[in-house]
Chain A
């Protein structure tokens, strides 16, 4: 079973994302900021990380830069999931090491589509 780490300081968003990902067959873990996510990743790298940008303690951008510098940190696919919708900000996230970018508000179809395009989901429901 593929694993996904959901990193978001909003409990509601984590819950919504968890439901979407579990419906798509993922095993889900949660972290509420970049430091917690880092701790999780040092134990075991997930297949994919759904990553909020603005969070206390360590934000998503700093997290992805640090992750990519860790041993094995190139492995997880990182999908930002953020309320930032400016093109320059999205470019910044991709340049920092993210593979994909989802703008909030999002839905299950958008998440499934991005996972499919990254090769993490075989079948895409029509």
Chain B
């Protein structure tokens, strides 16, 4: 058992590094998530892992623990109405406004990739949109990103939210799991991003999705991330938040599905140029 002092230590580490709010009383969650990190890192138990962390302050080990605590639950086409609205309204309007330039889409805290791949499948099935988008996925967790990039999902995962027609069209069976086709996988670029870091270096995006993480963050971190996401929106761009996240400081477009624009930017989508990525900000970084 991890004692309350150690749980408080982990909670404080998550808050400091990633703005995550982990209730130290959730012993089952903390124990469970850290058990797999401990096993992977060669510790006999989560308690030994925490002791080593306390003693050494090891940077990499600390991140491994924080990333394990951060892993969000995700599924294909979660909240279907959101995807329908994006496909029918938002994406065609963005593509039209960009006049042949690609629409830049970023799934922030993409977890194991189901959200951005759902969009990729949707785009691939829509004539005229398939080649008109650049898709990016980022997450704090390296392990989540590795799984996302591999595009290999369990039988259970492909039955949550993904229509059987989508499974048949875009996946092939590999062992006990299902592998997403290279065509869809190659539509997405991946990068590890901590939302507390400077996000402006990645340039601006026409569509941002951040539906899995805000609710898990401390209030101050939420404010900071919301503001940073607002600044990362291109003129006329749109931001999708989780249905329970709330859009303080943003312009409501269709709050019932979590759709917002940057402050003062609720008007029609237009063709003002985007601020592009700078220096180290390229999203095209292989893991």
Chain A to chain B contacts (Cβ below 8 Å), 16 pairs: A85-B155, A86-B173, A87-B171, A87-B172, A87-B173, A90-B168, A94-B164, A94-B165, A98-B164, A100-B163, A101-B167, A102-B159, A106-B159, A110-B160, A114-B159, A116-B80
Q: Is the pair B159, A117 in contact by a Cβ cutoff of 8 Å?
A: no
A-B contacts, CB under 8 A, total: 37
Distance in Å: Cβ of A8 to nearest Cβ of chain B: 18
Q: Is the CB–CB distance between B168 and A117 below 8 Å?
A: no
Within 8 A of B (CB), among A108-122: 109-110, 113-114, 116-117
* Bound-complex Cα distance A114 to B168 (A): 15
Interface residues on B, range: 10 to 19
**Please, how many angstroms separate the alpha-carbon atoms of A100 and B178 in the complex?**
17
Most buried by A among B155, B156, B159, B171: B159
Q: What residues on B are CB-neighbors of A19 within 8 Å? A: none
The answer, yes or no, to whether B161 is at the interface (CB within 8 Å) is yes
Specify which chain B residues have a CB less than 8 angstroms from the CB of A113 in the assembled complex.
159-161
Q: Which residues of A contact B (CB under 8 A)?
A: 85-87, 90-91, 94, 98, 100-103, 106, 109-110, 113-114, 116-117
Given A90-B167, A102-B159, A117-B80, 15 additional A-B pairs, CB 8 A: A85-B173, A86-B173, A87-B167, A87-B168, A87-B171, A91-B168, A98-B164, A101-B164, A103-B155, A103-B159, A110-B159, A110-B160, A113-B159, A116-B80, A117-B163
Report yes or no: B165 in contact with A109, Cβ–Cβ below 8 A: no
CA of A85 to CA of B161 in the docked complex: distance in angstroms?
Answer: 17
Determine how close the nearest CB of chain B comes to the CB of A4; give it in whole angstroms. Answer: 18
Instruction: Decide if B168 touches A94 in the complex (CB within 8 Å).
Output: yes
- Residues of A close to B156: CB separation below 8 A: 110
Q: A109–B172 Cα gap in the complex (Å)? A: 23
Q: How many whole Å from B86's CB to the nearest CB in chain A?
A: 16
| Chain B 159-186 near chain A by CB (<8 Å), digits 1 or 0 | 1110111011001110000100000000
Shortest beta-carbon distance from A103 to chain B in Å: 6
- Give, as a whole number of angstroms, the nearest-CB distance from A20 to chain B: 14
Q: Complex: how many Å from CA A113 to CA B75?
A: 11
CA distance A113 to B80 in the complex (A): 10
Provide the residues of chain A in CB contact with B171, threshold 8 Å: 87
Instruction: Report the Cα distance A117→B79, complex, angstroms.
Output: 10
Give A61 Cβ to nearest chain B Cβ, in Å: 15
CA distance A98 to B165 in the complex (A): 10
For A102, the chain B residues whose CB sits under 8 A away are 159
B167: chain A residues at CB < 8 Å are 87, 90, 101
Q: Tell me, rounded to whole Å, the shortest Cβ–Cβ distance linking B98 to chain A.
A: 31
Residue of A nearest to B244 (CB): A126
Q: In angstroms, how far is the closest chain A Cβ from the Cβ of B16?
A: 30
Binary contact track B129-156/A, C-beta < 8 Å → 1, others 0: 0000000000000000000000000011
Find A100's partner among B80, B164, B173 (CB 8 Å cutoff).
B164
B168 touching A109, Cβ below 8 Å: no
List of B residues within 8 angstroms of A117 by Cβ: 80, 161, 163
Bound: A48/B97 CA distance, A: 43
Q: How far is the CA of A28 from the CA of B161 in the complex (A)?
A: 24
CB-CB under 8 A from A103, the residues of chain B are: 155, 159
- Distance, CA A113 to CA B159, complexed state (A): 9
Contacts of A114 in B (CB 8 A): 159
> Separation in Å of the A114 CB from the closest CB of chain B?
8
